[in-house]
Structure formats: structure tokens, C-alpha cells
Structure 1
Amino acid sequence: MTVGESREYRVRLEGVFKTNGACRVRLLDLDKIVVGKITDPSVGSAGNVYTRALNDGAELIVVAKPTMKDGNINRLFISDARAA
């Protein structure tokens, strides 16, 4: 397993836990769901960008570092997001 460079991804959240930032993320360009971890402290706040996008089914542009396994994205560590 390797850690990739931080970059932007187009995603749709499939689920998110406000308590610990654990999430399931659909990578829209790959049409693949991966496990994620949101490290952005705002995830615990009411009405944050992540839970709003989940509720609305909206796309996000996230800044994240991927972990790679066999050349494929295995997990995303998300540090920031904005509406797409």
C-alpha cells in the first residue's frame, strides 16, 4: 500500500459519520465507491458541506490524499471540500 499526492477529486458522498469522519465516497470519474476519512474539523459542525451534500445528493470537489493498493485507489483522506 502506498500514499499518493494530495489532489482534487469529484465525488458524491454515500454516507458520513459526523462523530469520527468515516465515510463512503463515490469517485465520479471512476464510478467506484471507496472508504474515506474526513480530517476536516468542520465535519462535526451542524450544516457542514459534507452532510449538506449527502442530504442533497450533490457533487463535491474534495482535496484528498489517496492510499493505493495494486495501483488502484483504496481509501481517501479528505482534508477540504467545496460544492461542485
Structure 2
Amino acid sequence: FKGVVVTDALNMKAISDNFGQEEAVVMAIKAGVDIALMPAQVTSLETEKNLARVFKALLTAVKKGDIPMEQIDQSVERILQLKI
């Protein structure tokens, strides 16, 4: 498969009951997902911080080498190609 891989809502109960928001997104990206939908519960300005924590966890995973930068680059290429 050479297309864009998109998750369903990662804030679903089955996921949120078994994984933290950050862990779920990092695991999904490590598994080859290009776009992680609804990675954190954001219902107000206060809970917007949840999204920042998810981003930071993903960035940390890339910096540590848990997720190769080449994988991120390939995802970006697929997403941009789909947009075109």
C-alpha cells in the first residue's frame, strides 16, 4: 500500500482506557500511520494543552530515534501528494 494511512479517533474509549494519549499517538506513528485523528481531547482552551503534550511526546520519540526522521519525511510526502 502506497497511500496515506489515517487512524480513526484515537480518543475512543477502547484506546483511552488502555493507553495514554501520548503513547497511543507515538505507537500509531511507529506502526506507519501518516495522520493521527483526534489524538487528544480538546474541548476548551485549557484542554488545548493536551494536544501540545501529544506533539511533545511525538517530537521526543523522533529525537530519540524511536521514530526515524525518514519516516516522518515520507509521511509528509504522501500527505502533500494527496493534497495535490
TM over 0.5: no
The TM-score, its normalising length taken from structure 1, stands at 0.22
Q: For the pair shown, which has the larger CA radius of gyration, 1 or 2?
A: 2
The TM-score, its normalising length taken from structure 2, stands at 0.22
